[in-house]
Copies of this chain bind each other. A is one copy, B any other.
Amino acid sequence: MNTFGNLYRLTSFGESHGAAIGGVIDGCPAGLELDISFIQKALDRRRPGQSSLTTSRQESDQVEFLSGTFEGRTTGTPLGFIIRNQNQHSDDYENLRDAYRPSHADFTYQQKYGIRDHRGGGRSSARETATRIVGGAIAQLALRELGVSIIAYTSQVGTIQLNKSYSSLDLNLVDATPVRCPDPAIARQMIELIEQVKAEGDTIGGVISCVCCGVPTGWGEPVFGKLHAALGNAMLSINAAKGFDYGLGFEGVNYKGSEVNDLFYRRDDGTLGTKTNHSGGIQGGISNGSAIYFRVAFKPIATLLQKQTTVDKNGQSIELQVKGRHDPCVLPRAVPIVEAMAAMTLLDYYLLASSQSKARSKS
């Protein structure tokens, strides 16, 4: 259950305050040029300490590959990699050894396993997602050769909302601000809100939107492996994720079929397309050639710097004052994680579809 994917698979390991985190990527196509600087850049977008909106922990998150490549290319064998942990202040967490932070995984881990590493959240820390960035970046390298691109961005922080379709945004601006919202005016408001919340020792939630262009028709399995179900599963595995929808999603329930059906037509080049894309690029669980877009809801991070009433493992009521360096808002750093999970899912489904279409053409 620490493995993600069917044919392209990431197995991840590691706790926040252990020696290292890392993973194994299995099923990566052979012969792919492993662009390390591309992968490191992706890690840098997620790493802590990159702006005033994020935790001040400084971790360089340098990835070391241990296997699976030869003379700069992937060989089809598994890619093992590690990222050493650094800059841990384990002492900051000593008062969490027996205490359960409200809305955090402390309690459920203790109940499930009878033992837990309380330092820095242990395995439940979002630090684990750095391994997904590695898996996702390599998937993106492979998808790039297939003409597929994936861009995520912050579309809501608290009640500050970006009410525009992806097609009317300049997605080159995502990284122009530290909040990763491509609309500069909205981004400013989001940044102000996060800074205000941070000053209060509080946290705030939000929404990330993502769009995947260039996916051809035919990726996705019709019943239990629907492409959007796989994407939903991937997104809901990200820390603090509370919801997922695609296409018109929850908003679309307000409409009639006649208002939102995507009518087919023939393009000038003879291919078939749809005039609108309310479906979000997927029909019956299978990609239809249009852009795939979806949203992921994130709750405010559970770890506050405010005093909270809770209990310890003996059931004693305590006042808990968390120390340490924490993010006031998960959104800015979660943008590359959403992209990574989308990339791994899409490459996995490309490989599944490949075996089928090759089989079909033969028979």
Judge whether A12 is part of the interface by a CB distance below 8 angstroms: yes
Per-residue contact bits, chain A 153-188, to B (CB 8 Å; 1 contact, 0 not): 000101100000000000000000000000000000
Does B76 lie within 8 Å of A115, measured CB to CB? yes
Let me know if A79 and B13 touch, CB within 8 A: yes
20 contacting pairs across A/B (C-beta < 8 A): A1-B352, A3-B9, A15-B77, A19-B65, A29-B362, A77-B122, A102-B263, A102-B274, A104-B284, A105-B285, A108-B282, A108-B288, A109-B284, A112-B353, A112-B356, A124-B222, A228-B236, A243-B243, A244-B244, A250-B297
Known contacts A11-B3, A77-B123, A261-B102, A351 near B355 by CB under 8 Å: yes
Please judge, given known A-B contacts A145-B362, A257-B204, A299-B247, whether A13 and B80 are in contact too, CB under 8 Å: yes
Cβ–Cβ < 8 Å partners of A114 in chain B: 30-31, 360
Contact A124 B284 (CB under 8 A): yes
Interface pick from A41-49, A55-63, A310-318, A332-340? A310-318
A359 touches B351 (CB 8 A): yes
Q: Which residues of B contact A13 (CB under 8 A)?
A: 24, 66-68, 77-80
Q: Mark A238-266, 1 if CB is under 8 A from B, else 0.
A: 00001111111110111111111111111
**Inter-chain pairs besides A100-B264, A146-B362, 19 sampled, C-beta below 8 Å:** A11-B24, A13-B79, A18-B68, A19-B67, A22-B67, A29-B359, A30-B113, A67-B123, A76-B356, A102-B261, A103-B283, A107-B264, A202-B256, A203-B257, A232-B233, A237-B285, A243-B249, A244-B245, A257-B304
Task: Kindly list chain B residues whose C-beta atoms are within 8 Å of the C-beta of A229.
Answer: 232-234, 236-237
Indicate whether A113 sits within 8 Å of B75 (C-beta atoms), given known contacts A232-B236, A355-B355.
yes
Which residue of the partner chain, among B7, B79, B223, B284, contacts A108 with CB atoms under 8 Å? B284
Nearest residue, chain B, Cβ from A246: B242
| Residue in B7, B75, B299 whose beta carbon sits within 8 Å of that of A248 in the complex | B299
Residues of B within 8 Å of A66, CB to CB, are: 13-14, 18-22, 82
CA A20 to CA B79, docked complex, whole Å = 11
Cα(A147)–Cα(B359), bound, Å: 13
Query: How many chain A residues have a CB neighbour from B under 8 Å?
Result: 156
A208 to chain B, nearest CB (A): 10
Q: A82-B82, A102-B274, A358-B358 are in contact. Are A257 and B31 (CB under 8 A)?
A: no
In the complex, which of the residues B20, B285, B298 contacts A80, with contact meaning CB atoms closer than 8 Å? B20
Distance of A237 Cα from B303 Cα, bound (Å): 33
Give the residues in chain B near A73, CB-CB below 8 Å: 115
In the complex, whether A53 has a CB less than 8 A from a CB of chain B is no
Q: Which B residues lie within 8 Å of A223 (CB)?
A: 1-2, 12, 123, 128, 237
The answer to whether A308 touches B261 (Cβ under 8 A) is yes
Per-position contact with B for A273-312: 1 when CB-CB < 8 Å, else 0? 0100011101111111000000101111111101011110
